[in-house]
Chain A
């Protein structure tokens, strides 16, 4: 059997058949795996939130270890006492608040409308933590994370992640040595909610100064670092009216 593969009609038919086969194959893959993927993403979010408030399985100085996937749902219920949705002056409770997409809500806020902002209230060792989801831009793509504050508006832990920052440079925002620096910093300067700046040349590589609203930047990752600063500032700004009502200061 020999086919004349140079004929135009053959080319068109071949392309059409190929598109149908590939299209249905991918659609089938996507719909059959959708639930599993969604569940994995949900667990990951719970792990990230718990990590920010200090519930993790870190053993040494070096690496990030989350609560394991099989335990995470239980731990999440234990530590997260309340899930709030803040809509303007209205505050309501919602058990699925943590699944709210911050990207969409930030876009709504930018248009000048009222966003639905999720805020998680956690409790650990008798202390209350307010965990704020964040979303922003790095150098190449999205960055996001969670910041856990206590009643004095001091950072008790953060978690950052990114979609496609440069490995070895911007991607290091999810390394322990960078995230740990935030712990103990205050987001307040006087009475103002200024957030925390990722600063170059703050002459504090060991991060001993905890009252300067600054952490040491990553070398070679200026734009990602600026993105982190902007992301913290923007999110704090959205939540500051609510935070003022719970702040002990």
Chain B
């Protein structure tokens, strides 16, 4: 990586693994539960957060010296909300189909605690370029978990991936269903996401015991 210094590169790579926003910082859990029943929704949400978090981080970072500390949370909220509304309007005008897929997530992005968390913890104290990288890194870390959870929930819950049947037809009993396999209806309801996230956290911490807090 000639483009980035080692320190800058770690802003992107850390959140992907040992400082993951979902599994380590435990931020953004609510949306991870809500929208991961389908892989497609997970991917769309990940991309939306990537955009809002990276641009929002830059905007907050540019304003960091003039934001009054008393109302900084409100200022952050306004920046997120404005960005999300602009994106939504532009998509509605120029990519109507896509905007319909996204509409469910608009509200969820504004309330996503990863975004406020990164503004507060990073962008307020760092320059625009580093904040941009931090936004990209954290959004990717968030997205990776979303996609993993979405993959297992859609595969085990509906027997499809991106809406395409991969295990056969459950009604006509073809493919895997012909030997008695059944979809697990539990996987498409939100508590299943908690279990999948829990397993990811378990795997991650048993591979790297340094992450385990001693209480």
Binding site for B on A (CB under 8 A): 3, 5-6, 10-11, 14-15, 18, 22, 25-26, 29-30, 33, 36-37, 40, 43-44, 62-63, 163-164, 166-169, 171, 205-206, 219-220
Are B189 and A5 within 8 A (Cβ)? no
Q: What does the 1/0 interface line of B154-167 toward A look like (CB < 8 Å)?
A: 10011000011000
Given A10-B68, A37-B89, does the pair A25, B82 have CB atoms closer than 8 Å? yes
B68 to chain A, nearest CB (A): 4
- Residues of chain A contacted by B86 (CB below 8 angstroms): 25-26, 29
- Looking at the complex, which one of A15, A44, A166 makes contact with B96 (CB distance below 8 Å)? A44
- Describe B's contact surface by its main secondary structure: helix
Given A5-B68, A6-B70, A33-B90, does the pair A168, B154 have CB atoms closer than 8 Å? yes
Interface membership of B185, Cβ < 8 A: yes
Q: Which of B104-141 contact A (CB under 8 A)?
A: 104
Are A164 and B71 within 8 A (Cβ)? no
- Residues of chain A contacted by B92 (CB below 8 angstroms): 33, 37, 40
Are A220 and B75 within 8 A (Cβ)? no
Q: How far is the CA of A207 from the CA of B90 in the complex (A)?
A: 42
- Looking at the complex, which one of B67, B68, B89 makes contact with A33 (CB distance below 8 Å)? B89
Interface membership of B206, Cβ < 8 A: no
Interface membership of B210, Cβ < 8 A: no
Interface extent on B, as a size class?
35 or more
Are B188 and A220 within 8 A (Cβ)? yes
Are B188 and A168 within 8 A (Cβ)? yes
Are B75 and A168 within 8 A (Cβ)? no
- Residues of chain B contacted by A10 (CB below 8 angstroms): 68
Closest chain A residue, CB of each to CB of B165: A62
Are A168 and B185 within 8 A (Cβ)? no
- Looking at the complex, which one of B67, B75, B90, B104 makes contact with A167 (CB distance below 8 Å)? B104
- Looking at the complex, which one of B41, B75, B85, B94 makes contact with A36 (CB distance below 8 Å)? B94
Q: How far is the CA of A35 from the CA of B34 in the complex (A)?
A: 33
Ordered nearest first, which 6 A-B pairs have the shortest CB separation?
A: A168-B37, A36-B93, A40-B96, A11-B68, A33-B93, A167-B41
Are B93 and A40 within 8 A (Cβ)? yes
Q: Which of B63-96 contact A (CB under 8 A)?
A: 65-71, 74-75, 78, 82, 85-86, 89-90, 92-94, 96
